[in-house]
Structure 1
Amino acid sequence: TPADALAGAVKILVNSDDKSSLPAVLKALAQLDKTKGAGKQQTAAKGHFFKAAKLENHHLALEKMAAEMLGSPAGRYAAMAVVTLASRKGGSPESREMSLKAIEKGWSDPKQKIAFINAARDLRNPVINDRIRIAFSDPDQAVAKAAKDAAGRLKIQAPGADKTPKIATLKPEEALKKVTAHKGEVALGQAIFARATCNACHTVSQGEKQKGPYLGNIAETYRRNELAEAILVPNKTIAQGFATNVFSLKNGKSFVGFVTDEAGASVSIRDISSAEHTFRKSAIKERSTLPTSLMPPGLLSGFTVHEAASLLDYLESLVKK
């Protein structure tokens, strides 16, 4: 069908090193949006586009297209690509930094600001949440409206709405007590799961490709206070599956991370940057386990008690679905 052909073209072209293929990719994505009954192909094409490893090789071209094609369907996808690259973990630090700078530069133009706000909203990507929160009171009414419209989907609280203290201002024991006792919001907790990059190492759905320890049913094993402790003080009790393994290979390379799969003849691990590495067991020279968790301490230091409690509420809600 024409929709299958468009999705197939996106899959092939997005993996090209030739940036001249980008306009065709964006045009195909825009065409799929207008094609009736093409929901499945549209979802597949978007997945190919936003997850393509080579997308970051074209960040300069995408930044330029996002700025020059404002208001067009292709420009919308270019802006979404820039937002995606600005939040991509485990990729090129250069493309991530340049994409963030492109957003910062575009923020001085109301039309570009709206384009990036809408891109983040459509992607449910929290990378510019702080900017969007400030834009609630933007002097340009169209910008303020776009920011407030995006707030619901991104679960952004209005400035000053959350009066609870930040975790970093509390002693560990006090933070644990407050977070455990406080009632948050499940929807906000889902957004915090992404903002705190929990999704870099964890999944909550069996339908997703499994990464690190699965959290979809974690609340069946851990009580609320235990969950809070595992998140706020990860080195106190290292959760099963999160032991930090060190692998020294016969070729001189070393890897540190938690094991995601060691069935068969190979071992797969995920490191602190969420990058995955796979090597054959026969290539291992030495393997050891560190006494500390790979999960970094202070992950929620910049979040409030209400936000941390909302994360717990979200994790607890998963077992009720």
Structure 2
Amino acid sequence: MSNTILFIYNTRSGNHNYQENDILQKINDSLQPGQRLTVHKLEKKKEGNEELQIILNKENWDLVIVGGGDGTIRRLVALMVKYDFYFPLAVLPLGSANGLATCLGVGDLDVAIEVLKRPSYIDMDVLNINDHISLHLSDFGFNAGLVKKFDESDTRGMMSYFKGSLSEFFDNKASKFMMTIDGKDIEIEARMLLIANGKMYGTGAIINPTGKLDDGKFEIIAFNPTGINELLNLSLNLFKGAIDEDPQVRTWKVDKVKIKNLEGAQFQIDGDVEEDVREVNVTILQNRIKISVLSLSQEGVTAD
């Protein structure tokens, strides 16, 4: 049983459907006798990592719960990798983007709380992209451009995202890339080139049907819809989990890759835009993070 539990809570994350007191009450209600909870809040907009490193060093935590979105989880894992921390993790989906939590089966907060009571774990792979950590989905092109527009916009919500998607589709042109896989150079043209550890977006759209977080591999997926009909078909296949049947999609399963961004397409890592990235080298840290998931025996679990 996990006795010393640390909850790292990003109070600035984008999900405001739950009050702070409600979240803390849910966690406390999930604790077993003898378990002790310590709460560390990330409240400052530009808070450095030194304070977070100090709290991680404070005890040999039996479990670290991270409450936030993909960016918060990524920040914590980057510190764990850099400073050789090996605490088990659990995720509460409290961000505006909860893609990794969705992949873990805990995209709903009440389900995530139930999983805390009876945790099941996998040893998740972590991607290294030019010495930056990636846990979920990174890409060149269409989606990265959309993320940049969304970051710069004053509006949020699905309607804003839908309008942004249409705008970005017509603004975005296919870009050329040179990939090196197993010593072979492959030149491709794509509207979006995805580096995928995860399987799906927080919306539930299945972008990488064959992806597994703990298989020691990741996928490179090239998308090149040439018109609005192809885009609509691709969107439908995303929600059906059938993009591997789409003629506009090509997939490679790899454990390392070099990608040259020949025409300067926009690039993002787990929802964070990286400026002027002309080349990436991607490797994998196999089974690096022990993280809780919704197990097969727990599927269908709901809040009490």
Normalised to the residue count of structure 1, the TM-score between the two structures is 0.27
**When you count helix as a share of all residues, which structure comes out higher?**
1
Structure with greater proportional strand content: 2
Q: Answer 1 or 2: higher relative contact order, Cα 8 Å, separation at least 6.
A: 2
Larger radius of gyration: 1
